[in-house]
Amino acid sequence: MFEKLEDVERRYQELEGALVDPAVIGNRKEYARLGKERAEIEELVRGYREWKRVSAEVEGHKGLLEEADPDIRELAKEELPALRERLDALEEELRRLLLPRDPNDERNVIVEIRAGTGGEEASLFAAVLFRMYSRYAEAHGWRVETMSSNPTGLGGFKEVIALVEGRGAYSRLKYEGGVHRVQRVPVTEASGRIHTSTVTVAVMPEAEDVEVEIDEPKELRIDVFRSSGPGGQSVNTTDSAVRITHLPTGLVVACQDEKSQHKNKAKALKILRARLLERAQAEQQAEQAESRRSMVGSGDRSERIRTYNFPQGRVTDHRINLTLYSLDRVIEGEVEPLIDALITHHQAAVLKAAS
């Protein structure tokens, strides 16, 4: 491990030298690439340098145990346990930082929320989840753009697809993919009975154009039609809505939120690229299914991951058996405790597998 850390620190020093080179500064693309590489290893190098500093301090205190002055020996003896504890904690942190990173972690993310079983109540909860993720994103300074939506008359969504733009968005939201179950008394329920409904969430990294090649004339069928609002109400008198069918896979994406056909097509293509990238990555990951079983958040859409119980005010994440009695704050966007616990659990599983 420490040989690898030495290599990383050496590379960091090379990058620092390169970033003050006038030739590199004059090349914006190269400067940005090297700057990004340095930023990615900066935390690791900082941690390693701190480990070396504390390690030297431990060795220094060991030497003081041989001093003739009894007061110095006693002081060194008192301080050594805390220093050793700090050194062990730093070593554990370095192991975590050395774990292979998900190459998608820094990407923007496309979040698809769909009402499942439960009719109108499922649609209403889909809207609750959309607001929850929107507020969580806003708290992180991320931008949320609705790509496509299918609203209902009571303020719910049969489906809503959004692009979340911001550094690290995928690293935090990727654990949200799966089936979310809600238990509450619907607003339409007169007898006060608790209903159970489900909403499906899919989380995909935004795809770059170069990653997913689409031969548009040969592989896409593009249909245009008039947009409609809830209940079939017409909201547009021109054929601005766009439906794109990817013929090789049969994937279909429709967008009608914009009044411009061009904008709807651009959004639909963005969603399609993300789905195709997810599909390609899922095929690669299927080859490593055995190792993936130990990891949290496989993204399997049939997997029930969380229950929101309104009468008891609790939210339970079934993957890590974590229950919080702060449902009111969670649905207002305070999802951090759940996501932090999932990341910690995932990292522990990977560390165990690596060791």
pLDDT in tens, 40-54: 788 888 988 998 998
Question: Does residue 38 register a pLDDT over 80?
Answer: yes
Question: Does residue 142 register a pLDDT over 70?
Answer: yes
* Cα angle value 45/49/55 (rounded, 5°): 140
Average pLDDT of 290-298?
Answer: 38
Question: Does residue 195 register a pLDDT over 80?
Answer: yes
Question: Does residue 205 register a pLDDT over 70?
Answer: yes
Q: pLDDT at position 176, please? A: 93
The DSSP call for residue 240 is -
Sign of CA dihedral 333, 334, 338, 344: positive
Average pLDDT of 150-154?
Answer: 88
- What's the CATH number of domain 2-97, 3.30.70, 3.40.1130, 1.20.58, 1.25.40? 1.20.58
Q: pLDDT at position 316, please? A: 96
- What value does the mean pLDDT of the chain take? 84
Domain 216-284 top-level CATH class: alpha beta
Using the structure block, give the residue that is written with the tokens 């693309």.
29
Q: pLDDT at position 284, please? A: 61
Question: Does residue 78 register a pLDDT over 70?
Answer: yes
Angle between helices 2-18 and 28-64 (to 10 degrees): 130
Largest CA distance in the chain: 94
Q: How confident is the model at residue 156 (pLDDT cuts 50, 70, 90)?
A: very high
Q: How confident is the model at residue 347 (pLDDT cuts 50, 70, 90)?
A: confident
Using the structure block, give the residue that is written with the tokens 């499942």.
116
> What confidence tens digit (pLDDT) does each residue in 59-69 have?
988 888 888 88
Say what the pTM is: 0.65
Burial class of 294 by CB neighbour count within 10 A (0 to 12, 13 to 18, 19+): exposed
Q: How confident is the model at residue 282 (pLDDT cuts 50, 70, 90)?
A: confident
Phi and psi at 195, nearest 5°, equal -110, 150
Average pLDDT of 209-233?
Answer: 70
Which of residues 291 and 219 earns the better pLDDT score?
219
Is the distance from CB of 162 to CB of 129 less than 8 angstroms?
Answer: no
* Cα angle value 199/134/251 (rounded, 5°): 50
Q: pLDDT at position 318, please? A: 94
Q: pLDDT at position 238, please? A: 64
Average pLDDT of 139-150?
Answer: 91
Q: pLDDT at position 8, please? A: 84
Is the distance from CB of 335 to CB of 324 less than 8 angstroms?
Answer: no
Tell me what percent of the chain is helix, strand and coil, each rounded to the nearest 5.
Answer: 50, 20, 30
Q: How confident is the model at residue 101 (pLDDT cuts 50, 70, 90)?
A: confident
Question: Does residue 299 register a pLDDT over 60?
Answer: no
Range ranked top by mean pLDDT from 15-19, 99-103, 254-258, 300-304? 15-19
Q: pLDDT at position 354, please? A: 64
Q: How far apart are CA 251 and CA 270, in angstroms?
A: 13
Range ranked top by mean pLDDT from 133-137, 185-189, 279-283? 133-137
Q: pLDDT at position 73, please? A: 86
Sign of CA dihedral 34, 35, 36, 42: positive
Q: How confident is the model at residue 181 (pLDDT cuts 50, 70, 90)?
A: very high
Least confident residue range of 25-29, 103-107, 183-187? 103-107
Average pLDDT of 95-122?
Answer: 84
| Contacts (Cβ under 8 Å, ≥6 apart) of 321 | none
| Contacts (Cβ under 8 Å, ≥6 apart) of 163 | 108, 109, 110, 144, 145, 147, 206, 270
Question: Does residue 231 register a pLDDT over 60?
Answer: no
Q: pLDDT at position 232, please? A: 44
Q: How far apart are CA 19 and CA 12, in angstroms?
A: 11
Q: How many CA within 13 A on the CB side of residue 209?
A: 5
Burial class of 168 by CB neighbour count within 10 A (0 to 12, 13 to 18, 19+): middle
Domain 109-210+287-354 top-level CATH class: alpha beta
Start-end of CATH 3.30.70.1660 domains in the chain: 109-210+287-354
Exposure pattern of 1-17 as b/e (b: 16+ CB <10 Å)?
Answer: eeeebeebbeebeebee
